[in-house]
Amino acid sequence: MENRGMKNPITGLNKIFDNRIRLGVMSVLMVNDEISFNDLKQLLEVTDGNLATHLVTLEGNGFIKVHKGFIGRKTNTTYSITKAGEKSFTDHVAALENMIRGMK
Amino acid sequence: MDVQNQPSGSLQDIKDIRRIMERSSRFLSLSGLSGVAAGVCAIAGAVVGNSMLKGYYGTYDSQGFFSGDDFSKLKIKLLGVAAIVFAVAFISSYYFTWRKAKKQGVPMWDHTSRRLAWNMMVPLITGAAFILCMLRYDVWMFVAPASLVFYGLALVNASKYTLSDIRYLGYCEILLGLLNMLFIGYGLWFWAIGFGALHIIYGVLMWHKYER
């Protein structure tokens, strides 16, 4: 137990996911193939501007993909997770779990 | 150790991740009371249907002859009852789920409920079309078993998109439908059990588990 606690538990933790909204976006995208901006906004209970900023950060890091489409005349922007995003997020969750286990 | 990396923070993060994953992939506002309401409607419908059948066979026995006119009237009346039962059951179960969603502060119509509705509709509409085609050939005896089986399949399919417990209700409906195939002629009884009793039992259990 002591040993496991000492083994650098921070490996895999990702600074990008330190933010509640970015963590939320990634959690949603892990279990949904794709989701629209409005559905994300509704799920995470955040404002347009706030959500947009964090989505840009995630996209800039190559963790999510943006698809711009149309439903009729209305723009419909949807988001999905990338392979890299999936990997980083899984590592992040594993590191969190390790920390909880290591600290008991 | 960094302040932000303390285990209590990690635990909170993991809890948030789980909650959001669950909340974003399943429609969790389905109320047990909706099941009870649908079940009560079904049983009321079965009672009315049964008395119509009794009335029909009563005249048939006393008059001692078969009247095609009476029979087609009976068919129309039974279909009418079925349609009314379906409408009332749908509206009342919608109401209880709408109330639960409101209480939880989540929208009734979001991407989880849309997905649930779609995945439920595919087997249901297939079943409805299948049964209507059977009726075109005047095959009445498989209506009850077929509706139970298709409804059960719809529930099993839907269980991936809502409270997963509903899959067990689905299994029971399928089994009951298949059992009904061995006891053709008791369709109304199987209907009352499948759409009535099972819904009420399931609804009470779910209400007890999640809403009390």
Tens digit of each residue's pLDDT (9 = 90 or more) over B3-59:
445 566 888 899 999 999 999 999 999 999 999 999 999 999 999 999 998 888 887
Encode B157-188: b = buried (16+ Cβ within 10 Å), e = exposed: bbbebbbeebbebbebbbebbeebeeeeeebb
Nearest-CA neighbor of B141 among B186, B80, B201? B186
Confidence class of residue A10 from pLDDT cuts 50, 70 and 90? low
Averaged pLDDT, B171-199: 96
CA B1/CA A48 separation, integer angstroms: 35
Mutate to test the interface with B, among A19, A43, A45, A97 (most CBs of B within 10 A): A43
The pair of structure tokens assigned to A2 is: 């002591």
Indicate the pTM of the whole model: 0.83
Tens digit of each residue's pLDDT (9 = 90 or more) over A25-51:
999 999 999 999 999 998 999 999 999
- In the predicted model, is pLDDT for residue B2 greater than 50? no
H or E segment and range at residue A80 = strand A74-81
Burial of A77 (0-12, 13-18, 19+ CB in 10 A): middle
For residue B67, CA distances in Å to A5, B57, B159 come to: 85, 11, 46
Averaged pLDDT, A65-87: 92
Q: Where are the alpha helices (DSSP H) in chain A?
A: 2-6, 20-31, 37-44, 48-60, 83-103
The pair of structure tokens assigned to B90 is: 């749908």
Of A30, A36, A100, the CB nearest to B10: A100
Confidence class of residue B105 from pLDDT cuts 50, 70 and 90? confident
CA B56/CA B110 separation, integer angstroms: 47
A75 or A29, which is more confident? A29
Which residues of chain B have a CB within 8 Å of the CB of A99? 5, 7, 10
Residue boundaries of the structural domains of chain A: 2-103
Residue B68: per-residue pLDDT: 77
B111 with A35: Cβ contact below 8 A: yes
The pair of structure tokens assigned to B108 is: 């009734």
B150 or A45, which is more confident? B150
Residue B86: per-residue pLDDT: 94
Domain A2-103 part of CATH 2.60.120.1360: no
The pair of structure tokens assigned to B9 is: 């923070």
Residue B3: per-residue pLDDT: 44
Give the count of alpha carbons within 13 A of A64, CB side only. 30
Of B2, B17, B110, the CB nearest to A39: B110
User: Residues 61 to 100 of A: which have CB under 8 A from any B CB?
Assistant: 93, 96-97, 99-100
Nearest-CA neighbor of B31 among B207, B209, B208? B207
The pair of structure tokens assigned to B134 is: 């059977």
CA B190/CA B143 separation, integer angstroms: 11
